[in-house]
């Protein structure tokens, strides 16, 4: 058991029978009354961020999380198959653990976080940007770069992304996996 003196950003703790990471914390020693620690905690399963106050010195349970590199292979419905990049062992995780499953393409490298005690997958971290090829879009308009107008385009994974009017079929684009939005065109 540890105490609030051991708090640091990124620390994983068990709180209310759930796993949380500390996003931000601040020790406060008011002029009157006991010291306390103000925190922002992020739930590892839902991603929800909440504020919480701990009395200084209270005991907490620190949990060990292991991040392992995996390569995306394929999916069968809502079950996604990954291969460990180190020992070639395969694992399967549910679609709900992946932040943007529609942007995963075959061979993409991800990091899967495991709870060390139970050896269960908690979350899947995708790269911030992925490069995808446009498989279908309406024909582009040459020189139309001044307006802030977008059209829909289908990428190689089957996802639909809003892109500028000058993007054509066969172009490669960089997509932000956090928002699913177009970032820039990639030169081949």
**pLDDT at position 150, please?**
87
Residue 59 has pLDDT above 70, yes or no: yes
Residue 39 has pLDDT above 90, yes or no: yes
Q: How many domains does the chain have?
A: 3
Closest of 27, 22, 32 to residue 5, by C-alpha: 27
* Last residue of one domain, picked from the residues 45, 62, 79: 62
* Last residue of one domain, picked from the residues 20, 37, 62: 62
* Last residue of one domain, picked from the residues 10, 43, 62: 62
Whether 76 and 111 share a structural domain: yes
DSSP per residue over the chain, as a string?
-EEGGG--TT-EEEETTEEEEEEEEEEE--SSS--EEEEEEEETTT--EEEEEEETT-EEEE--EEEEEEEEEEEETTEEEEEETTT--EEEEEGGGSS-GGG--TT-EEEEEEETTTTEEEEEEPPSEEEEEEEEEPPP-TT--SS--EEEEEETTS-EEEEETT--TT-EEEEETTTTEEEEEEP-
Mean pLDDT score, 53-73 = 91
CATH number of the domain residue 39 falls in: 2.30.30.30
**pLDDT at position 147, please?**
67
Structural domain harbouring 94: 65-125
pLDDT digits (tens, 9 = 90+) for 86-120: 888 999 998 888 888 999 999 999 999 888 888 88
Q: Provide the whole-model pTM.
A: 0.76
CATH number of the domain residue 174 falls in: 2.40.50.140
Whether 44 and 29 share a structural domain: yes
Residue 143 has pLDDT above 70, yes or no: no
Whether 83 and 49 share a structural domain: no
Whether 32 and 56 share a structural domain: yes
**pLDDT at position 121, please?**
87
Q: How far apart are CA 60 and CA 102, in angstroms?
A: 37
Phi, then psi, of 25 in degrees rounded to 5: -150, 155
Q: Give me the percent of the chain exceeding a pLDDT of 70.
A: 95
pLDDT digits (tens, 9 = 90+) for 13-25: 998 888 898 999 9
- With tokens 């971290």, the residue in question is 125
């Amino acid at each position: 058991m540890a105490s609030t003196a051991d708090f640091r950003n990124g620390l994983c703790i068990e709180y209310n029978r759930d796993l949380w990471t500390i996003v931000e914390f601040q020790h406060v020693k008011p002029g009157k009354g006991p010291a306390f620690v103000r925190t922002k905690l992020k739930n590892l399963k839902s991603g929800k961020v909440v504020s919480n106050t701990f009395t200084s010195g209270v005991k907490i349970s620190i949990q060990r999380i292991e991040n392992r590199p995996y390569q995306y292979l394929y999916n069968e419905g809502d079950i996604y198959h990954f291969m460990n990049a180190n020992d070639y062992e395969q694992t399967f995780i549910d679609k709900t653990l992946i932040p943007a499953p529609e942007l995963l393409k075959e061979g993409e490298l991800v990091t899967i976080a495991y709870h060390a005690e139970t050896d269960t997958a908690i979350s899947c971290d995708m790269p911030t940007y992925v490069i995808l090829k446009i498989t279908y879009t309406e024909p582009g308009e040459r020189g139309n770069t001044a307006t802030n107008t977008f059209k829909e385009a289908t990428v190689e994974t089957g996802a639909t992304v809003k892109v500028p009017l000058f993007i054509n079929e066969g172009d490669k684009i960089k997509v932000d996996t956090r928002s699913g939005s177009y970032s820039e065109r990639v030169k081949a």
